């Protein structure tokens, strides 16, 4: 299975890229995490933020592989504990060859992206910095995978 992490924003700090890679590389080939970056449109005072969000959403949807199970990362989504995420990951592995996780830009996900999603996942009730979400998702997926394998990484 390939999990595509489709994110708006393509200019991140080195520590973000390194943190993401640290956990993405720990996942095995049969549960690969692949980052797809959608360039963030330039925000200027006269720009319509709704229009920019829609344009970014269109590019996100175009990046979703055909047949992928789509999950929107959204504060109104379902919150999963680590064992619950491990169960979700096991379900995805059994039923889908591709999963796409959508992470919006500063204004969040476009309405069309939310409608396209099969599920919604909330990492936190708090709004997180979008670059940090990459690291959190990669680490949580690695943690979930270790739980499915009986690996001692998760010590709760």
Q: Is the pLDDT of residue 144 over 90?
A: yes
- Is 73 marked as binding a ligand? yes
10-44: pLDDT as tens digits: 889 999 999 999 999 999 999 999 999 999 888 77
Q: Please choose, from the candidates 4, 131, 146, the residue with its C-alpha nearest in 3D space to the C-alpha of residue 85.
A: 146
Q: Please choose, from the candidates 127, 116, 1, 119, the residue with its C-alpha nearest in 3D space to the C-alpha of residue 63.
A: 116
Write down the pLDDT at residue 3: 98
62-113: pLDDT as tens digits: 999 999 999 999 999 999 999 999 999 999 999 999 999 999 988 899 999 9
CATH number of 2-149, picked from 3.40.1280.10, 3.10.20.600, 3.30.70.1350, 3.30.1280.10 = 3.40.1280.10
Looking at per-residue confidence, does 156 or 154 come out higher? 154
37: left (phi over 0), alpha (psi -120 to 50) or beta: beta
Helix (H) or strand (E) holding 150: none
Q: Is the pLDDT of residue 155 over 80?
A: no
Write down the pLDDT at residue 156: 64
Q: Is the pLDDT of residue 61 over 70?
A: yes
Per-residue b or e along 14-32, where b marks 16 or more CB atoms closer than 10 Å to that residue's CB: eebeebbeebbebbeeebe
Domain boundaries, the chain: 2-149
DSSP letter string, 8-30: E-----HHHHHHHHHHHTTS-GG
What does the angle CA 117 – CA 82 – CA 143 come to, to the nearest 5 degrees? 95
Sign of the torsion angle spanned by Cα atoms 68, 127, 132, 90 = negative
Confidence of residue 127 (pLDDT cuts 50, 70, 90): confident
Write down the pLDDT at residue 32: 96
Confidence of residue 126 (pLDDT cuts 50, 70, 90): confident
């Amino acid at each position: 299975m390939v999990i595509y992490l489709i994110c708006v924003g393509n200019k991140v700090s080195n520590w973000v890229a390194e943190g993401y890679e640290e956990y993405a590389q720990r996942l095995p080939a049969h549960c690969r995490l692949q980052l797809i970056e959608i360039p963030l449109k330039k925000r200027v005072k006269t720009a319509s933020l709704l229009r920019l969000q829609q344009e970014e959403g269109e590019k996100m949807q175009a990046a979703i592989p055909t047949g992928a199970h789509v999950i929107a990362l959204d504060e109104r989504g379902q919150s999963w504990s680590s064992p619950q995420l491990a169960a979700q990951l096991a379900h995805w592995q059994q039923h889908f060859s591709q999963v796409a996780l959508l992470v919006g830009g500063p204004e969040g996900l476009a309405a069309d992206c939310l409608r396209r999603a099969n599920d919604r996942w909330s990492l936190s009730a708090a709004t997180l910095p979008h670059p940090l979400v990459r690291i959190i998702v990669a680490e949580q997926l690695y943690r979930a995978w270790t739980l499915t394998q009986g690996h001692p990484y998760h010590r709760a």
